[in-house]
Structures are given as structure tokens and as C-alpha cells.
Amino acid sequence: MPEIPDLNVFSANLTKRLVGKSLTAIHILVSRKIKTTEADFDAALTGQVLTAVKRIGKQLFFEFGQNHLLGLHLMLYGSMHWYEGKNENKFTIVELLFSDGTGLAITDWQKSVMLTLDPVISPVPDAMQMPDGYLQSALKKSAKPIKTVLTDGKTVQGIGNAYVDEILYAAKISPFSKANKIPESNIEILSQAIRGVLTDAENHILFLFPDTITEKERDFLQVHRPKQTLTLNGEPILKAELDKRKTYYTGSQQLFE
């Protein structure tokens, strides 16, 4: 699943290529997870100029003239691809065609991509925009494992299964630690790890794939390495399942319970 670092890069590259252009057509090929009709999308968006592409949490939001918003959640296997002329991408869910002839195909072999018209934005803070002291206060309210709290979207938006393992590894906190048992000093370290890990990953992706709008390799990750037995630092990787999520961590991460 694309997470914050990927989506920030995608947003920047979509902005560079599409902002200022008008949408000339939208075609929904698979409507399994799309509750709004193609006619409603068409009436609201066709002919409107794209003014911004932003990321909040795990979603991208395309802002169009006359205050319309197109929300996109790529889910686990969704991806985006440029095309010109005929779209040849397999498993296409939606096609967006812009005034300069640029096409954007959104694909998903699992057919789970979610597209919404004028969605309500969640008030839960984004992982990169949490107010000072927010996490310290929020974690006191939950006895659930810290990995669950960081990924369920109820306390913070945008952190997924891969980067939560990276964040907890950087903060040296076990994913099984009870959220309300973590000392405030360690929560401060955790807050810094959230911003640091996600920023470093975004910079890495930008360096290797500056123009990408499609998820690329994650070989640079330290501990969330499904095919490896050691971290990049040479520590043995421990593997477990937590809330039906595969979890990767090390023995050096402190357990608070």
C-alpha cells in the first residue's frame, strides 16, 4: 500500500503535470467500490480546472474549480499510470482525461480502489501535522498495542503497516507495547521518529524516482523486510502477527506493559 512518503511524491508529480489543466472526461470502468455514479462525477468535474492535488492521511485529493473535490484511496494494490491516446493499462478502474491530452489511469487488480466526490475530510490529525503534545495526550487514552493505535486511523492519519514498523524500530519501542504505558520521554522520541522516518523515506524515493506516480521498491527500509532475516544494521528480524498484520521488529525494541 502506498503510504505517506509515496503519496507525497505522487502528489507533487501530479501537481507538476496536471494543475492548471481542465478535466475533459472521466470514465469509470469498474464501480465496485465507487458509490457515486459516473454521471454525477461528470456533472461536477468535467470542464473544471484542476487547482491542486493534496495528500491527507492515505488519500489524495484533487481540487477542482467551483469547490469540487475528488478523493482517491489507492488501498492495497491501486496504482496510477500516465497514458496518451488509448489507455492500454490492465485492471483499469478509472480513466481521467485532461485538456492537453494527458490521461491518468487508476488501476487495481483487486478492484478495491475508492473514488469519492466531495468527501468529508476526517478531523483526525495527519501524521505529519500533529500539534505539539498531541501524541502524549492521545496515547494515554488507549491500552491497545502501540502499532494498532498508530495504524487504525482513529488517533493519527496516514501511517500504514510498513512504515509503522520502521517508526517503532527507530524509536526503539516494541510494537506490542501498550500505548498508555509508554513514558512521555519515549513518546517524544516516537513523535520525532514519525516525522524523521517518513521524511527520510520521501527524500529517498525522490532521489531514486523523482518523477514517479507509482509505488517503487522499499529495499531501503530498515526492519520491515519480509524477505530478509537481518536489518540493514545486521540485527535479527523478529516476525509476528498483530491484529492480522505481519509485524517486523527486533529484540532491541523496549516493551512497555
Using alpha carbons, select from 96, 78, 88, 92 the residue that is nearest to residue 18: 96
Under CATH, to which class is 4-117 assigned?
alpha beta
Using alpha carbons, select from 192, 194, 250 the residue that is nearest to residue 223: 250
Under CATH, to which class is 134-249 assigned?
mainly alpha
**DSSP annotation of 95:** E
pTM over 0.85: yes
What is the tens place of the pLDDT at every residue in 199-235? 999 999 999 999 999 987 788 999 999 999 999 999 9
Residue 75: strand, helix, or coil: coil
Q: Where are the alpha helices (DSSP H) in 87-145?
A: 134-139
Which pLDDT belongs to residue 41?
A: 96
| Cα 207 to Cα 24: distance, rounded to the nearest angstrom | 33
Place of cell 489507455: 87
What is the tens place of the pLDDT at every residue in 120-167? 999 999 999 999 999 999 999 999 999 999 999 999 999 999 999 999
What is the tens place of the pLDDT at every residue in 5-58? 999 999 999 999 999 999 999 999 998 889 999 999 999 999 999 999 999 999
Per-residue pLDDT band at 244 (split at 50, 70, 90): confident
CATH 1.10.8.50 maps onto the chain at: 134-249
Which pLDDT belongs to residue 24?
A: 97
What's the grid cell of residue 1?
A: 500500500
Which pLDDT belongs to residue 217?
A: 78
Which pLDDT belongs to residue 157?
A: 96
Per-residue pLDDT band at 188 (split at 50, 70, 90): very high
Which pLDDT belongs to residue 20?
A: 97
Which pLDDT belongs to residue 140?
A: 95
What is the tens place of the pLDDT at every residue in 65-110? 878 999 999 999 999 999 999 999 999 999 999 999 999 999 999 9
CATH 3.20.190.10 maps onto the chain at: 4-117
| Cα 57 to Cα 55: distance, rounded to the nearest angstrom | 6
